[in-house]
Amino acid sequence: MKVTVIGAGYVGLTVGACLADLGHTVVCAEKDRARLARLREGTVPFYEPQLPEIVRRGLGGGRLTFSGVGEDAADQSQVIFIAVGTPPSADGQPDVSAVDEAVRVIAPHLDDGQVLVLKSTVPVGTTDRIEAVLRHDTGAHRAVACNPEFLREGSAVADFFHPSRVIVGTHSRAAAEVLTALHQPLECPILVTAPRTAEMIKYASNAFLATKVSFINEIAAICEQVEADAATVAAGMGSDPRIGPHFLRAGIGFGGSCLPKDVRALAALAREHRVTPSLLEAVLRVNDAQRQQFMEKVEAALGGIAGKTLAVLGLAFKGGTSDVRESPALDIAGRLLAGGAVVRAFDPAAEEGAAETLPALICCPDAYEAAEGADAILILTDWPDFESLDWKRLRKRVRTPVVLDGRGLRVAASAIDEGFAYIGQGPPKAR
Ligand code: UGA
């Protein structure tokens, strides 16, 4: 099939490159000229495991090309995905102006054999609205569908090839058939629904994941008071298949460009329709409180942070990505700087984005440099590499052997063995 993807960000580029890898002919249209030039050279402008190889393979095989928006012959594509950003606006709802702009550019070229697909996360009712706009502007019926994305940053390629499900929201039988055929090789359940239902599935999924994280964070806070071990409580709960083991890692809370934004958007949608989003608001409140509670732990452990040197390990919103959007780690690093601490930070991929936001950070080439002269080590992102740190080496670099683990990594035993005081979830573990 010939496919056009408008927007070569995390979602658009991953989907486009992976579809090309499946054998389709894909054009990714990107309006940012600098990003476009880098993509044409085969450079992926963000950190995403496996994606650079897949992009280069697509480019080399001629199945993947890049163009400016409106420059491609999208009129020859059977499927046109819109995967542009929908950042939060002031009222909590996503700003869909980039989606509307993409529709405006594409509309004059659409014919009735083509399917226009919204990949971007859009407010409920957007797919129906766009279908109506196209009918009004072109005087003809156009096949429009919502196909929400469930890729996680850091494992987006693996998630594309092994999806748990594909959701297709459309009123058009032709669109349902084309999108079912496109996803058939992925061998997963395909659920065809009305567009509004598909849009809600996306919001409800992210809101539920966020709810699990806030739930376990509240449980962890109770565990701390009653001297129970939160990680073991999560493991014990998670082995019940009705609960499941995922998204039960307590820590400094969820961040990123999706979970916080989508919970806020769903709460705003609820209020707009006079439904009180009590649970969603509590999920956000608990999440906000995590950062403050972590700061209090740091203050208590060090007797204040002004003038202290702190080694911050991790700045990205989670391990496996260079993304610092709504990163709890970056937020905490900012609070530490504001409190008068010297922050020596290391992140395997997110240094550039973090330094733009917080120029006062001292960015270090590795964890050991970051630990030089530190009064404490703070683990703020769950990079797997942090689980194999050499604590003997770290012990030689720090001024005071204290580690505060904001991500519940498996480091307590090795840190304690080397003489560190370990403060994680639950009561402080003694040396
Ligand atoms: C999330 C969803 O997981 C994807 O399915 C969805 O496609 C994507 O949003 C999106 O809407 O585009 P992502 O933003 O990549 O993916 O991040 P997650 O893996 O969901 O993690 C979100 C946050 O929760 C991170 O800050 C992570 O550290 C935190 N988290 C996650 C925890 O604190 N504890 C956990 O147990 C799990």
Say what percent of the chain tops pLDDT 70.
98
**Ligand 1 atom with the shortest distance to the CA of 153:** 15
Half-sphere exposure of 113 (CA within 13 A, CB side): 8
Q: Which of 43, 258, 71 is nearest to 150 (CA)?
A: 258
159 lines ligand 1 (CB under 6 A): no
Position 76 scores a pLDDT of 82
Position 69 scores a pLDDT of 84
How many A from CA of 54 to the centre of ligand 1?
A: 23
List pLDDT tens digits, range 359-413: 999 999 999 999 999 999 999 999 999 999 999 999 999 999 999 999 999 899 9
Position 140 scores a pLDDT of 81
**Ligand 1 atom with the shortest distance to the CA of 156:** 15
pTM as predicted: 0.95
318 lines ligand 1 (CB under 6 A): yes
Nearest CA to ligand 1 atom 16: 152
Please state, in angstroms and rounded to a whole number, the distance separating the CA atoms of residues 318 and 98.
26
Please state, in angstroms and rounded to a whole number, the distance separating the CA atoms of residues 263 and 279.
10
Please state, in angstroms and rounded to a whole number, the distance separating the CA atoms of residues 160 and 25.
17
User: Which entry of 28, 146, 223, 258 is annotated as an active-site residue?
Assistant: 258
Testing ligand 1's pocket by substitution, the residue of 48, 201, 217, 318 carrying the most ligand atoms inside 8 A of its CB is 318
Q: What are phi and psi of 399, to 5 degrees?
A: -85, -45
- Measured CA angle at 170 (ends 122, 133), to 5 deg: 65
| Residues 6+ away with beta carbon under 8 Å from 23 | 63
**Ligand 1 atom with the shortest distance to the CA of 253:** 33
How many A from CA of 354 to the centre of ligand 1?
A: 19
Position 385 scores a pLDDT of 94
250 lines ligand 1 (CB under 6 A): no
Q: What does the block give as tokens for 239?
A: 């082995």
149 lines ligand 1 (CB under 6 A): yes
**Ligand 1 atom with the shortest distance to the CA of 251:** 33
Give yes or no for a contact between 213 and 287, defined as CB atoms under 8 angstroms apart.
yes
Position 90 scores a pLDDT of 84
Q: Is 319 exposed, middle or buried (0-12, 13-18, 19+ CB in 10 A)?
A: buried
Position 431 scores a pLDDT of 46
Nearest CA to ligand 1 atom 24: 254
Nearest CA to ligand 1 atom 29: 254
Please state, in angstroms and rounded to a whole number, the distance separating the CA atoms of residues 338 and 386.
26
248 lines ligand 1 (CB under 6 A): yes
The verdict on whether 258 is a catalytic residue reads yes
259 lines ligand 1 (CB under 6 A): yes
**Ligand 1 atom with the shortest distance to the CA of 150:** 7
Position 23 scores a pLDDT of 96
Going from the C-alpha of 164 to that of each of 50, 119, 190, 263, 420, the distances in angstroms are: 20, 17, 9, 21, 41
Q: What residues in the chain have per-residue pLDDT under 70?
A: 72-75, 426-431
Q: What does the block give as tokens for 272?
A: 């707009």
**Ligand 1 atom with the shortest distance to the CA of 154:** 15
Nearest CA to ligand 1 atom 25: 254
- Across the chain, which distance is largest between two alpha carbons, in Å? 74
Please state, in angstroms and rounded to a whole number, the distance separating the CA atoms of residues 338 and 358.
10
Position 425 scores a pLDDT of 76
Testing ligand 1's pocket by substitution, the residue of 13, 213, 382 carrying the most ligand atoms inside 8 A of its CB is 213
Testing ligand 1's pocket by substitution, the residue of 209, 214, 325 carrying the most ligand atoms inside 8 A of its CB is 209
Position 426 scores a pLDDT of 67
Nearest CA to ligand 1 atom 5: 150
